[in-house]
Homo-oligomer: A and B are copies of this chain.
Amino acid sequence: MGVDIKTHIISRAEPVFDENGFAATGMDRLTQAAQVSSRTLYKHLGGKTELICAVLDARRQRFFDQLDVDSVDALFAALETWARTEGARGCFFLRAQGEMGGREPAVAAQVSNYRRELHERIARVLANDLGEAADGDLLDQILVLFEGATSMASYRGPAAFAAARSAAARLLNRTTGHANQ
């Protein structure tokens, strides 16, 4: 077989959840998307909750693979590229948390994984950009911009990334866009 069925089902399920929501997506649409029978899906994944967790795990890895950059500016550029190719419907993990996290601890755990890795990644990129470890306040500011761009992009598109990018540059004392005094 080419790729194993489990990976295939997970990758086909991801855009379906992304576009239709988690709770609102029925198992029939997932089997149809993966072109497998429901029996096969249950044999390989166990159930809907486990499938959602596997999708979250796969997306996290894919997301951070694409965000493997060296500067804050490149970080927002990579985020914009992600949104352009994958679509921007608000943070996938925040939505998963809102829809399932309260009732499914396994989903909440996956969301926590994502947030921890996001924090680490921003700290790493920022340290590399500055040449030294950034203080927590600046890190939080960049994190706010990252979250904000993700949310705002769902209804304002590329303008969200442009705004986040220029704001980050100013916070790093790299004057772009607006005059600094």
- Chain A interface (Cβ within 8 Å of chain B)? 19-21, 23-24, 89-91, 94-95, 97-99, 102-103, 115, 137-138, 140-141, 143-152, 154-156, 159-160, 162-164, 166-167, 170-171, 173, 177-178, 180-181
Contacts and interface: CB of A to CB of B under 8 A. Distances in A.
Contacts of A143: 148, 152, 156, 163
Contacts of A95: 95, 98
A181 B173 CA distance: 7
Given A90-B94, A99-B24, A146-B148, A167 B163 contact: no
Interface of A is mostly: helix
A22 to B, nearest CB: 9
A143 to B, nearest CB: 6
Contacts of A178: 137-138, 171
Contact of A167 (B19, B23, B145): B145
Nearest to A90: B94
A-B residue pairs, 7 tightest by C-beta: A148-B148, A140-B163, A144-B148, A147-B151, A147-B148, A141-B167, A23-B23
A106 B120 CA distance: 40
Nearest to A24: B23
